[in-house]
Structure 1
C-alpha cells in the first residue's frame, strides 16, 4: 500500500510511476494452495485526492484471496483434465503394445514355451516374440529398449518389425542381428540403444543357436545338473551403439527335461515393498 506514490521513497527510481502520474496504489499477491505466488492484483489512481487506506487494502486482500482460490481451482481442474487425457492415451498405447506380443506360444511336440510380460508403467521397452522360420526352426526374441514410457514403446514397434524381417531374410542369426544393428545405428537417436537376445531352436535336434546383443545371459537349467549362464564369450554390444559391429553366435544342446530361461532386467532389478533388491 502506498498512499502517496509520488513521495514514497520505495518508488524513487520508478520512471513508469512518474510518467503515468500514479498518486496512490495498492498491490496484493495471488497465492496458490502450496503457498506459491503466481500473480498480483494492482489498483492505482491518478487522483491526488483519492488515496487508498488500510481499509481499502483489506478489501483488496479479501478479493485476491477469493480470486486466488478460483484461479487455483481452475488450474487444478485443467491439470486433471489433461492427466485424464494422458491416462486414456496411455491405456490405448498399452493395448496397442500388447497387440505386438504373441497371442500364444508355439505348439511344438516335445517342447513347452512359457512367457510373461508386465510393464513397470502403462507402456515400456520390453518385448518378446516367436518367429517361425522357413526351415522349421523357431526364433525366440527377447529385447529391452532403453527407457520407459511412450518413446520406448514406439521404438519397440520398430524393433519388432525389423528383427522379424532380418531373421526371415537371413539364414544365420548372427548375420541377421549384425544387419539389424547397422540399421538401428543409423536411425536411433544418440543415447538410445536396445539389448536383444535371439535364441533359434531346431526342434528336431534340440540345438539352440544364441546371439546376444548386450542382453542378460540366458540360463540353461539341466534336469540333473547345475544352471549355467550361456554365451559369455560371444556376447556383443547393445544394438544401435556401434555401426559395423560383427555379432557372433553360439550353440547349446537343450537336454531332455532341460529349461532355457531368457529374461530382461525387470527380473534382477525387482524390489520388495522396502525398495530392496531381491537377492
Structure 2
C-alpha cells in the first residue's frame, strides 16, 4: 500500500510464489512503492505548477484589462485637467475610477469603492464601468444615471455586496458641477488660495442594496479649484501604531503639495499614505482622483 498525508490511497498488489524469499520480495516491493510515491508526488506538483502558471497568466491579463478601464495618470481638456492614481491591493481591485467627455463637451467623472477586494470586487467594478457609461447616454442628470445603475446592481450583486460612489458632471466653461454622492467619502476641494475644505457630505445611500430615489446636487467650481476624491484604502490605511490615516491627514497632504496641479496633489496624498504605512503591507485598494477647473475657463 502506498499512502501519503493526502486523502488519496494507492494500492500495489504483488503475487509472488511461495518458493521466492519473502523478505527479499517485501524489500523490493517497499523500494518500488517508495519510487512510485515519489513519481506520483512529482506529477501532482507539476500539475499544480501548471495550473498556477495558467491562473497567474489569467490574472495578469485581468490586471491589464482593468488598467485599460481606469483613467490615464493625466488627462487635459479645454477647461479642465485631471490626475489619477489607482493601485489594487491584489492583482485586480474593486475600487472604481473613470472619467470621459460627454458629447456636449462636459466632463463626466466618478470614483468609488466596491465592497471587498480581489476578483469578485473587480468583476463588479467592470460591471459598474459599463453600466454607468451606458446610463449617461440616455439620462438627463447624474441622479437619473445612478438610479438606473442602482437598479442594475441590485440584480447583479450577490448578498452583502454594495458600492459607494461619487459621480459628477462638470461644465468647465461655467464651472457648474452637478453630482451625486452615494454613500462615498466626502471629497475635498482645494481652492486657488490654498484652502482645503470638505466638499459634499453624501446625501444618498450606497448603491446595489435597495431601491431608492437619488438626488443630484449642484455647485460652481471657481477657476483653479480642484476636487479630490479618495477611497477608503487612503483614509483607512493603518500606520505602524495601528492608527488610521484619516481625512484630516489627506487635507494636510494637500496643503503641503508643492503646487496646485492635479498631479502634485495626487502625488502628495499617495506619498503621505506610503510614509504613514511605513513597512506595513497595503491592505486595501487605493484610488486618488483630482479634477481641476482650469483658469482659462
Which residue in 1 is equivalent to 2:209? 241
Which of 229, 235, 247 is equivalent to 1:268?
235
Alpha-carbon offset, residue 256 of structure 1: 3.5
Q: 1:171 aligns with which of 117, 120, 140?
A: 140
| TM-score, normalised via structure 2 length | 0.70
Distance 1:276 1:174, change over 3 A: closer
- Structure 2: how far apart are the matches of 1:140 and 1:200? 6
- Kept in 1, the 8 Å contact 2:16–2:25? The answer is no
Q: How far apart in 1 are the matches of 2:40 and 2:7? A: 12
Confirm or deny that 1:127 pairs with 2:96. Answer: yes
Task: Report the aligned-residue RMSD.
Answer: 3.0
**Deviation digits for residues 14-46 of structure 1, max 9, x if unmatched?**
xxxxxxxxxxxxx4x422xxx657424454769
* Residue aligned with 2:48, SS: helix
Q: Is the 1:219–1:227 Cα contact (8 Å) retained in structure 2?
A: yes
SS at match of 2:81: coil
Any idea what the Cα deviations from partners look like across 1:213-234, whole Å, max 9, x if unmatched?
2222211122435423322251
Check the 8 A contact 1:124/1:149 in 2, yes or no. yes
Query: Matched residue of 1:246: which SS?
Result: coil
* Alignment partners' CA distance in 1, 2:23 and 2:199: 81
Give the structure 1 partner of residue 245 of structure 2.
none
Q: Which residue of 2 aligns with 1:76?
A: 45
Verify the 8 A CA contact 2:100 2:109 in the aligned structure 1. yes
Higher radius of gyration, 1 or 2: 1
**Is the 2:135–2:148 contact (alpha carbons within 8 Å) kept by the matching residues of 1?**
yes
Is there any run of 5+ residues in structure 2 with no aligned partner, and where? 238-276, 284-297
The C-alpha deviation readout for 1:124-145, integer Å capped at 9, x for no partner, is: 2223222323443211111322
Q: Which has the higher contact order (CA 8 A, sep 6+)?
A: 2
> Counterpart in 2 of 1:30?
3
| Matching of residue 89 in structure 1 with residue 58 in structure 2 | yes
- Answer whether contact 1:218 1:263 (CA < 8 A) is retained: yes
Within 2, Cα distance between the matches of 1:107 and 1:222? 19
**By how many angstroms is 1:85 displaced?**
0.8
Alignment length (residue pairs): 244
